[in-house]
Amino acid sequence: MAEQKRDYYEVLGVGKGASDDELKKAYRKLAKQYHPDLNPGDSVAESKFKEINEAYSVLSDTSKRQKYDQFGHAGVDENGFGGGPGGFSGSYDFGDLGDIFGSFFGGGFGSSRRRRSGPQQGANLKYGMTLEFMEAAFGVDRDITITKEDICSSCKGSGAQAGTTPETCPTCRGAGRIQQQTQTLFGMTMVTKDCPTCQGRGTVIKNPCPSCSGKGRKLSKKQIHIHVPAGVDTGDMMPIRGEGEPGSKGGAYGDLYVEFKVKKHDVFTRNGQNTFCDVPLTLAQAALGGEVQIPTIDGPVSFMVKEGTQPGDTHVIRGKGIPNKNSSTVRGDHTCKFYIEIPTRLTEDQKNRLRAFDSSLTERNYEKRSGFFKKMKDIFTK
């Protein structure tokens, strides 16, 4: 009696209404978790990997998914897409899976189903770094510590105990691949697959390294010195070449990507390379004009406020913004916006003086006010 298959949606951990993006996201996560390259010698992981591939190949295909939703496993098995509990047989398109695994392992499956026998680049890593506003503006040097999978220092990546070496696999005789005859709807077909004894490596380890349990790599901490250039902003990512995880079969290390998040500042805001701030004025400063100090990221700058400055008026200082991260000599602009702070907690004497001053003013002193009431009068006298 054939083994009962699990529901494909259950295999991928998604609901029946899952979108294509949700299916692909779930598949990526599970495929990376159970991929044979990351679980050498683990038959359970290999079985799960095949099950995940089978589920995704059906649910990612609109036609197959419709048949599966209507008839279950029978709807796709009868069309030759199921290959029994051991996996798939016959025609199978790895095109989409190639794109996915390319992002994980630097290579991937192709629609031609070629073996990934050459060197494969290691996985890329990401590190989140939070910066103060001024650190992002002018750059900073940081030492960070990351935890990553790296080549085992005891066995130098061979996976074999010191004094021993991996031996040629007796099943595939070092080829890493075996041929298997499989019955399909089109007759007997010869299928080439990874050797189940050595998982495609071509060698077996009889005396595993005790430090890494024969994996050839282990988790380790590494301190890295990073120079953050001036001008970075939230969401920017800086690559550190070769600081990712080691490749397989002699492949190069992956890269480390540092992603920045910039804290808010008490005085300044920014939009790209341009900075902004609000500057308070007293009633007298706004009415009479005078010298004020405008804050910039380089320090305060003296500025003569013109007589009759209004709330919301702005002043732009060229070249006092954030440096360009690709050319620190090029900088954005700094814009300050003025607002009038109305005095509070006035004494009776101050209030009387203010009333007397207000009484001395005429409409000619308030251009915007007189214009506003004229518009109001025109509206309501029509």
Segment 359-381, tens digit of pLDDT: 998 888 887 776 776 777 677 77
Backbone angles phi, psi at 10, to 5 degrees: -65, -40
CB atoms within 10 A of CB 39: 17
Q: Is the pLDDT of residue 61 over 60?
A: yes
The pLDDT assigned to 146 comes to 93
Q: Where are the alpha helices (DSSP H) in the chain?
A: 8-12, 20-34, 43-59, 62-71, 73-77, 95-105, 133-138, 283-288, 348-360, 367-380
Packed helices 62-71 and 43-59: angle between N→C axes, nearest 10 degrees: 100
In the predicted model, what is the mean pLDDT of residues 255-279? 96
**Mean of all residue pLDDT scores within the chain:** 83
Sign of the four-CA dihedral 375, 378, 381, 382 = negative
- By mean pLDDT, which of 132-136, 199-203, 252-256, 275-279 is the weakest? 199-203
154 φ, ψ (degrees, to nearest 5): -75, -45
Bridge partners for 270 per DSSP: 275
pTM of the entire predicted model: 0.60
Using only C-alpha atoms, the chain has a radius of gyration, in whole angstroms, of 35
pLDDT of residue 153: 85
Q: What is the largest CA-CA distance in the chain?
A: 107
Rounded percentage of the chain residues whose pLDDT exceeds 70: 85
Distance CA 52, CA 57 (A): 9
Would strands 334-340 and 274-281 be described as parallel, antiparallel, or unpaired?
Answer: parallel
pLDDT attached to residue 206: 85
Predicted confidence (pLDDT) at residue 318 exceeds the cutoff of 50: yes
Whether 83 has a pLDDT exceeding 50, the answer reads: no
> Residue 189 in contact with residue 181, Cβ under 8 Å?
yes
333 backbone dihedrals φ, ψ, rounded to 5°: -105, 160
End-to-end CA distance of the chain: 93
Residue with tokens 């996976």, as numbered in its chain: 159
Instruction: Identify the band that residue 183 occupies on the pLDDT scale cut at 50, 70 and 90.
Output: low
- pLDDT band at residue 215 using 50, 70 and 90 as cut-offs: confident
Q: Residue written as tokens 């308030």?
A: 366
CA–CA distance, 348 with 36 (Å, rounded to integer): 84
